[in-house]
Chain A
Amino acid sequence: DIQMTQSPSTLSASVGDRVTISCRASQSISIWLAWYQQKPGKAPKLLIYKASSLESGVPSRFSGSGSGTDFTLTISSLQPGDFATYYCQQYDAYPWTFGQGTKVEIK
């Protein structure tokens, strides 16, 4: 199975900060990577697919980059509603796998 490793596990930030979350795959997954946001008690929400494509309705402050094994999710200016846990997911090879999550907390 492809292992997805996110860093950091927890991130403390303030409103207005630029935030970067990393995701590394244990083998190349080309651009077959998605990012999700999950708030407590809620289902995940798709933010980014195909590594850098913004899902419809998602604010443009979210962006994704990378290919191969190294990927990044960037929030350009953190808003109050962005405090949540973020997951990356590869869909290059079965079984599709998720990272362990990065919790973005209020500083």
Chain B
Amino acid sequence: QVQLVQSGAEVKKPGASVKVSCKASGYTFTGYYMHWVRQAPGQGLEWMGWINPDDGDTKFAQKYQGRVTLTRDTSISTLYMELSRLRSDDTAVYYCARDKAEQLIVGAFDFWGQGTLLTVSS
């Protein structure tokens, strides 16, 4: 069965960086695009970007351009989201979410990780 298991909660100071991991299992890792979505406390969902695990190609929402890096390690079926120059308003739960279509970007997300809470506080 498809599983996406994310790394644990993080507490960071403003200006620092964080790297969240998402380990995939139960399907062909390189066959599906992976997205990152975040949710601030009590707020709605915000799409951040995607990565193609096959070739490492990425695309980001404009507001994250230059601050987010998406990478993957195909040898261990794991994806990473690194967010730099953290601010207090980056406090949120960060999710990895698999695209529904194989070898394509559809934009609907059929499997999600459990979420990683990032708290940014001085």
Contacts and interface: CB of A to CB of B under 8 A. Distances in A.
Interface in A10-53: 32, 34, 36, 43-46, 49-50
Contact of B106 (A43, A45, A91): A91
Which residue, of A87, A98, A100, has the highest number of chain B Cβ atoms within 10 A?
A98
Contacts of B115: 43
Interface in A76-101: 87, 89, 91, 94-101
Contact of A34 (B46, B61, B108): B108
Contacts of A49: 100, 106, 108
Contacts of B95: 43-44
A70 interface: no
- Which secondary structure dominates where chain B touches chain A? mixed
Interface residues of A, number: 21
B47 A97 contact: yes
A87 B45 contact: yes
On chain B, which size bracket covers the interface? 20 to 34
B107 A96 contact: yes
Interface string B46-66: 110000000000010111000
A99 B95 CA distance: 17
Contacts of B61: 94-95
Contact of A91 (B63, B108, B110, B112): B108
11 contacts: A36-B109, A43-B95, A43-B115, A45-B112, A46-B109, A50-B108, A87-B44, A89-B47, A89-B107, A96-B107, A99-B44
Interface of B: 44-47, 59, 61-63, 95, 97, 100, 106-110, 112-115
Given A43-B114, A95-B47, 5 more contacts: A34-B109, A44-B97, A89-B47, A95-B63, A96-B47
Interface of A: 32, 34, 36, 43-46, 49-50, 55, 87, 89, 91, 94-101
